Structure 1
Amino acid sequence: MSLIKQLAELVGFHLSYRGAFGDKVIAKDQARRALLKAMGFDLDDESLIKAITLLNQKQWLNILPAVHIVKLEEQQHFIKISLPKTESLLLQWKVTPDLENEFEDGLGSDIAGSVEINSLQLIDETDIDETHYCQYLLPLPVLEQGYYQLNIHTDKVQANCPLISTPKMCYSPQKASANKMWGLTAQLYSLRSNNNWGIGDFTDLCELVETSVTQQASTIGLNPLHPLYQQNPAHRSPYSPSSRCFLNTLYIDVTKVANFESCNMAKVKVNSKTFQQNITAAKASELVDYPAVAKLKYEITELLFKDFDDNKKDTYPLMSAEFDDFKQKHGKDLQRFATFDALNEHFNLTEKNVYGWSDWPTNFQDPNNAEVGKFQLSHASRIEYFCFLQWIAHTQLNAVTQCTKDKDMAIGLYLDLAVGCDGSGVDVWSDKALYVAGASIGAPPDGMNPLGQNWGLTPINPIALQTQGYQPLVKALRSSMQYAGALRIDHILGLMRQYWVAPGMAADEGVYISFPFDDILRIIALESSRNNCIVIGEDLGNVPDGFSETIQNAGLLSFKVMFFERWESGLFKRPENFPVQSISTIATHDTATLSGWWQGRDLAWREQLNLYPNEEAGHADRSSRAGERQNLIAALEDLKVIDISKAPQQEPALMNTELSVAVQKYLATSPSHIQLIPLEDVLEIAEQVNIPGTIDQHPNWLQKLPVMLEDFWQVNSVKEIIQAMKEARPN
């Protein structure tokens, strides 16, 4: 085996994978080389031999592992340690709760002890450079679930590593409700209301929650709420965030900021004729006009911050105290985030085409550079402003979360965690050692995307993730779970194996790399348990056999999309085949809506945008749709959920509400503990939210709902579907 292959395999790259069409795909050597180089490896023979040797020997040369997972259900816990052989040596150890990760209930005090090394169980030994190394099992004390630090030392050596004590299972949806539940999913930006400024906001969300509860809905699902780029509002995909640890401040309702009513400057500006005309124009726009909305909102938040900053001691002491608490809680991470936004704004004012840190002067591309420190001093007020925006967004979203609790909504908010971050954003800038610059996360070719996908997201280095004790993952999970009763993890397969596209290579030439999935599932279970948050793994696409069962065994819910649940014959699977530990739904943001599918709108887009690998594939898709419509009607009739005399016309295909209601009744019969209904399907919208593989060719992440929120509940299809859900899945 070549040195490149040896190193690639040690790092975790797969030599091949089984494609969605059953073919064996061999990884290209060119891709392996490019990805290893992106990970920081030198590729000359001498460097390769050195890297291979170090990776092979690290389990011996390192006294403790980078991080150790303690399985809470096991009666006795051990950790493997490696030491040079000695006749007799006293080893002292101490387990300390990690105060930065401690919840309110605390984890008790330090636990310490000592042991003669030669009394430990010897499990393996080897010789390296004339030194004989021995691996032992060191017993650990019984620990409550949580985060700890283990320190060990002798009179010759000292070492430490994180200990993470985890449950086996995530928080169960049955704890939220013993009954099967249902809920609605919304693209928050798409909500239209009398009071918003051209984009759905947190006040709209609160109103949606309040009315949905009265209709017996158990949850409201949302697109990711991660921050994008304030200086580039046209960058709109919620799955390509700058960070996964903060919020998109475009969703702030400016009129609900605490000092809005008392800020005369802001009220005069908002009430001015020109400003009101601009609000009207933003609301009237057929698609969300992100730049126009951003200009409106941030013009007023600037005034609100100035008013707050000038008067916080005398007029706003309570606001000031809460803001200080928020800053203290988020500490360095918030300062880094706000510094990034301030720097990006600064360089946008002086240069065109600045989209992120890689476009800044070199001295500012490292957050630890002295120039960044000087900037923080000279622009302290501006950095404080960006902290202020995050605090306002947190306050308003937290109020929605509290509303779900006050209204006894069984689950509450169902949030979405993106699979990664945009490479130009703050998370990558803040910790370049964690990320593999130049590489991109994607997906191999499949039935929906036969050319493969390159999502443009910078992947995390799995070795660095372990070295950091999984804390970047913990922060991302916790940042969303603090608001959520359920969290969907996008493309969860990427936490077991991730498809990386090398710099300059096509999306169908990617290589899989393994992640420490068992450890990651344990950490997800720990954070789920601590936050009482249900976790859903989006396990669609080219997933290996048994993967869905693996996540279900860890307490995560699988994701069942009706369009994908078919037998090889093309017949739809009966919903009774869905597992209890799952969520069922008709569609996702990346698939056609029911109306669009029925009428072939998705096929027309694929043909128009040349998304087929060849003409034959497109012709086959279009030819089979008529039969697929017949199969759907047959499946609905089989379960007696459709009045066949009212079934919609098939040729040419016309949509009707009988079909909309029947499909939801069909899914409601499944054992799936949660059923989700997209607002686009409730309203029988033909256009899908996003077409993967496109950016501006289709109005991705731009479309507003055709109905105002105030009128939503009076729409006939809405009333009929909700009534059907009340009967099929009563609270």
Structure 2
Amino acid sequence: MTAAVSHDVLQELAGHFGIATEFTDWLGEHREVSDDTLISVLGALDVDASTDELARAALDDLGNRRWRQVVPPTVVTRVGSSTEVLVHVPAGASVQLSVELEEGGRVELEQLEHFVDAHDVNGLAVGEAKFAVPASIPAGWHAIVATLDGAEISPEARVALDVTERRQRGASEPIVEARGTLISAPDASSFDVPEPVWGLMAQLYQARSSRSWGLGDLGDLRTLGEWGAEHEADFVLVNPFHAPSPVTPLEPSPYLPTTRRFLDPSLISIDDLVASEPVSQEVGQRLAELATFCRQNHTRDVIDRDGTWLAKREALALCFDAARHGDDGRWHAFGAFCELEGQGLIDFATWAALCEQLGGNWRDWPEEYRSPNNEAVDVFRQEHAERVEFYCWVQFVLRDQGAAAQQRLRDAGMRIGVMHDLAVGVHPSGADAWSLVDSLARGVSVGAPPDQYNQLGQNWSQPPLRPDALERLGYEPLRDVLRAAFAGAGALRIDHILGLFRLWWVPEGRDASEGTYVTYNHEAMIGALLLEAERAGALVIGEDLGVVSELTRQVMAERHVYGTQIMWFEFEEDGSPKRPEHYRTECLATVTTHDLPPTAGFLELRHVDIRDQLGLLTRPIEEERAAEQELVDAYRQQLVEEGRISNDATTEEVVLALHERMAASEARLFGVSLADMAGDRRPINQPGTFREYPNWTLPLADADGNVLLLDQILRSNIATSVVESAKRAR
């Protein structure tokens, strides 16, 4: 079947949708994308190119698509800059264009001279007009509205074009309208870091204290942050806080959540909740029993997410009942929160309640429950209104405790405070995949092509947002994700910021290396990001590691989006380790990251041993070990030459020296891992694996593998030594 499809037609179709037909791999070699991959990716965008006839028909349809749109579904501009908009109407018809401002008011747009021949759309002659969007439009999510005279628009034209009708009192003809979204974004980030600062980095679930319920929570974030502030830290970078499934077994990876719009209930500090929602003595006794159950796992060498969540879910239900009969002011605040979050929150809470009844994978549910728009789902929502309300209230508590934690860190002296982490995508069987059915591509998943550290490529099992759907919906799905991510944060790290420019789509059933890049409208994606960052008063950091296009780095620099540099990945042109003075200024620099072992483990080549044991190497173990040892030796030699260590320095001494060296870099932000403060050796994640390695489930431990709680780490000499070596010259 594939052989019958014209290669040239496939290439042209792919070009219309921003699908790469060729690319350069991490070794600098040119690669052609197979026709099979192109057909699969086009299919994920609802373009059937499985036969030559269908592919040519799809190509013909694309030729008329923009002429059927009276206004573009999305127009993007920058504050202080003007832009132009093309409008399509039946030839000879009059049209007015205006902008409805988000905060109220209306701006009429000037029509410009513009002469083009009419275009035939299935027998309808369609003309084109041009309008100017002035530079004075303020930042915001606005509507762009085309108004046509109903008397001039035939019934056939109303069918052919994307318009709606509305009646005005006393008018003989309806007003015919077409609407789109106007995103007016800041030209660049206005958040300034005037001098070098340092901060902590933690997978918060690992940061369990003696008062925790089995997992590090927002109370522990406050403890860690306030301790850091006492040592001149200005931020705490945490793992993504996105929600997992409400039913066990839970997906352990914080980078594979069920939704990016709502938060993980396990983050709630029950002690803090009880302080704001007093409970009866009987309930208090049950909460104490549940806390004891969770804390008995603190010495085990595994993080028990399932047990912790089941205990916390019972505790939260008890607190919810108390809240419903408690303080009226708090309950009214909850009502205001629900109104602000709207249908998205209700859908998520409904999905969670459905999961409790039908299981965690909505794709296995009866057909009538597989869409939030189905009548059966509405009936279920009404019949289980109290449980839906419970899951809405849980999100209210999370948002409240998150905002309180951020305020405490700022009050303690941190300039930034909490730095949230935004995952690339969501689980295919989760809440967003259920509710955003029109926005996510099916039959493909997001991943990464082969690179130096993942030589087989990566498949992250996440359905990507469709670029065409984002344009059609005015980037509302992205806006909602960003708005949630900035809540309670002074900064946001965007995991794999390349995804705002292009993503590696892998067709189902294919190896990760058999995917291709799909391009996104980066002007709109970055514009939405900066607009929401401006409203939150927050800094933006992009994780721009791996195979990165020049365009990505150029746009990030132009718009003051900070980048990311990991010491082990940075080299001078001659191949030697990058010197501190050559790091980018607008950058978050770190010695290690969550996808590598802690620094001590890297120095001892733990990552090589793990990848060898798991069969992830593409060259003999001897070659891999020699190459990585050469890198470690190069850093040790530099440290010796700089007088920071002796030739026979211990692993611990090298760790401190590396932090001291990186603290002197040009990067405005320097992140220090809590795992390094513990003296841990074990990576929390091994990319390219699923269950072959205990990803995201290992607690923090010392050099000998003894499990450590947050209290112990913060009292330790090694933690004090590491943070002292990390302090920046100001």
**Deviation per CA, 1:39-74, whole angstroms, max 9, x where unpaired?**
222334444333212222222232211110122132
> Corresponding residue for 2:263?
247
Distance (Å, rounded) in 2 between the aligned partners of 1:462 and 1:208? 39
User: Structure 2: which 5+ runs fail to align?
Assistant: 1-6, 154-176, 702-707
CA distance in 1, matches of 2:573, 2:625: 18
- Which residue number in structure 2 is paired with residue 62 of structure 1? 69
Post-superposition CA distance 1:646-688 (Å, at most 9, x none): 623xxxxxx22x2122111111221111011111122221111
Compute the displacement of 1:645 (Å): 5.6
Offset of 1:386 from its aligned partner?
A: 0.9
- Which amino acid counterpart does residue 335 of structure 1 have in structure 2? I
Native 8 Å contact 1:242 1:427 kept in 2: yes
Mapped to 2, the partners of 1:263 and 1:552 lie a distance apart of 56
Deviation digits for residues 118-144 of structure 1 (CA, Å, limit 9, x no counterpart): xx2216445325655443320234211
Match in the other structure for 2:3: none
Aligned equivalent of 2:625: 622
Per the alignment, do residues 243 and 280 of structure 1 end up closer, same or farther by CA in structure 2, a change over 3 Å counting?
A: closer
The question of 1:159 aligning with 2:163 is answered no
Would the alpha carbon gap of residues 383 and 212 (structure 1) be closer, same or farther in structure 2, given more than 3 Å must change?
Answer: same
Q: Residue 577 of structure 2 aligns with which residue?
A: 572
Distance 1:591 1:488 in 2: 18
What is the correspondence of 1:86-97 to structure 2 with a 5 Å cutoff? 86=92, 90-97=94-101
Give the counterpart of 2:332 among 321, 324, 334: 321
Letter in 2 for 1:680: A
Unaligned runs of 5+ in 1: 99-106, 349-354, 649-654
TM-score by length of 1: 0.91
CA offset digits 1:420-452 (Å, max 9, x no partner):
111111111112111112210000011111111
Q: Alignment partner for residue 137 of structure 2, among 143, 154, 163?
A: 143
In the alignment, structure 1 residue 40 sits paired with structure 2 residue 64: no
Secondary structure of 1:69's partner? strand
Q: Which of the residues 261, 281, 285 maps onto 1:264?
A: 281
Alignment of 1:554-703 (within 5 A): 554-567=559-572, 570-613=575-618, 615-616=619-620, 618-640=621-643, 642-644=644-646, 647-648=649-650, 655-656=651-652, 658-703=653-698
Greater mean alpha carbon deviation, residues 297-306 or residues 554-563:
297-306
Aligned pairs (5 A) from 1:221-370:
221-258=237-274, 261-272=278-289, 275=290, 277-309=292-324, 311=325, 315-348=326-359, 355-370=360-375
Cα pair 1:145 1:165 within 8 Å, conserved: yes
Query: 1: CA distance between counterparts of 2:549 and 2:52?
Result: 35
Match in the other structure for 1:219 = 235
Q: Distance between the aligned counterparts of 2:648 and 2:625, measured in 1?
A: 25
2-structure distance, mates of 1:718, 1:331: 44
- C-alpha RMSD of the superposition: 2.0
Q: Flag the 1:123–1:512 CA change in 2: closer, same or farther, 3 A.
A: farther
**Residue 121 of structure 1 corresponds to which residue in structure 2?**
113
- Counterpart CA distance in 1 for 2:57 and 2:101 is 37
Q: Percent identity?
A: 29
Change beyond 3 A, Cα 1:549–1:635: farther
Q: Aligned equivalents of 2:672 and 2:305: distance in 1? A: 26
1:485 to partner: Cα distance: 1.0
Alpha-carbon displacement from aligned partner over 1:377-416 (angstroms, at most 9, x marks no partner):
1111111111121111111111101112322310111110
Q: Matches of 2:610 and 2:574 in 1, distance apart?
A: 25
Question: What per-residue deviation string (whole Å, max 9, x for no partner) do you get for residues 350-390 of structure 1?
Answer: xxxxx321011111001111110110111111111111211
Q: Which residue of 2 aligns with 1:72?
A: 79
CA shift at 1:4, angstroms? 2.9
Q: Distance in 2 between matches of 1:474 and 1:16?
A: 31
Q: Which residue of 2 aligns with 1:104?
A: none
**Which amino acid in 2 is paired with 1:691?**
Q
- Aligned counterpart in structure 2 of residue 480 of structure 1, from 476, 485, 497: 485
Judging changes above 3 Å, is the alpha-carbon distance between structure 1 residues 462 and 546 closer, same or farther for their aligned structure 2 residues? closer
In the alignment, the residues of structure 1 paired with residue 377 and residue 252 of structure 2 have an alpha-carbon distance, to the nearest angstrom, of 28
8 Å CA contact 2:183, 2:524 repeated in 1: no
Three-state SS of the structure 1 residue aligned to 2:259 is coil
The residue type paired with residue 347 of structure 2 is: R
Cα deviation, 1:173-230, whole Å, max 9, x if unaligned, reads 32xxx22110000011001211111110111111111121111100000000000112
Separation in structure 2 between the aligned mates of residue 201 and residue 407 of structure 1, nearest angstrom = 19
- 1:548 equivalent to 2:553? Answer yes
Is the 1:282–1:293 contact (alpha carbons within 8 Å) kept by the matching residues of 2?
no
Shift of 1:79: 1.8
Name whichever of 372-381 and 707-716 sits farther off.
707-716
One-letter code of the match for 2:720? K
Go from structure 1 to structure 2 and tell me whether the alpha carbon gap of 1:219 and 1:124 turns closer, same or farther (over 3 Å shift).
farther
More displaced stretch, 157-166 vs 187-196: 157-166
Amino acid at match of 2:645: D
Taking a change above 3 Å as real, the CA distance of residues 225 and 123 of structure 1, as seen in their structure-2 partners, is farther
Which amino acid counterpart does residue 121 of structure 1 have in structure 2? Answer: E
Q: Secondary structure at the match of 2:438?
A: helix
Determine the structure 2 residue equivalent to 1:495.
Answer: 500
SS of the residue 2:314 aligns to: helix
Q: Is the 8 A contact 1:171 1:535 kept in 2?
A: no
CA contact (8 A) 1:260 1:266 kept: no
Letter in 2 for 1:356: N
Matches within 5 A, 1:2-41: 2-41=8-47
Distance in 1 (CA, whole Å) between partners of 2:115 and 2:21 is 31
* 1:660 and 1:682 in contact (8 A); partners too: no
2:545 maps to a residue whose letter is L
Q: Aligned to 1:257, what secondary structure does the other structure show?
A: helix
Distance in 2, matches of 1:376 and 1:59, equals: 39
Q: In 2 relative to 1, CA 635–545 (structure 1 residues): closer, same or farther, beyond 3 Å?
A: farther
* Helix, strand or coil at the partner of 1:644: coil
Q: Distance in 2 between matches of 1:148 and 1:224?
A: 30
Match of 2:709 in 1: 708
Alpha-carbon distance in 2 for matches of 1:235, 1:216: 35
Q: Supply the AA of the counterpart residue of 1:143.
A: I
Map Cα deviations across residues 600-620 of structure 1 (whole Å, 9 max, x no partner).
11000000000013x43x332
Shift in Å, 1:305: 1.7
Equivalent pair of 2:72/2:180 in contact (CA under 8 Å):
yes
Contact 1:498 1:512 in 2 (8 A): yes
Superposition deviation, residue 15 in structure 1: 0.5
The Cα of 1:557 is off from its aligned counterpart by 0.6
What is the CA distance between 1:587 and its match in structure 2? 1.2
Matched residue SS, 2:550 = coil
SS at 2:223 equivalent: helix
Question: Which residue in 1 is equivalent to 2:460?
Answer: 455
CA distance 1:277–1:250, shift in 2 (3 Å)? closer
User: Are the aligned partners of 1:260 and 1:267 in contact in 2 as well (CA < 8 Å)?
Assistant: no
Counterpart-to-counterpart distance in 1, 2:532 and 2:376:
37
Shift of 1:277: 5.0
Q: Which amino acid aligns with 1:257?
A: L
- Pick closer, same or farther for the CA change 1:257–1:150 going to 2, 3 Å: same
Q: Distance in 2 between matches of 1:233 and 1:392?
A: 23
Q: Greater shift after overlay, 519-528 or 551-560? A: 519-528
Q: Distance in 2 between matches of 1:399 and 1:627?
A: 47
Q: 2:193 matched to 1:170?
A: no
Aligned partner of 1:382 among 380, 387, 404:
387
Q: 2:106 aligns with which of 100, 103, 110?
A: 110
What's the offset of the Cα at 1:85? Answer: 3.6
Q: Does 2:87 align with 1:81?
A: yes
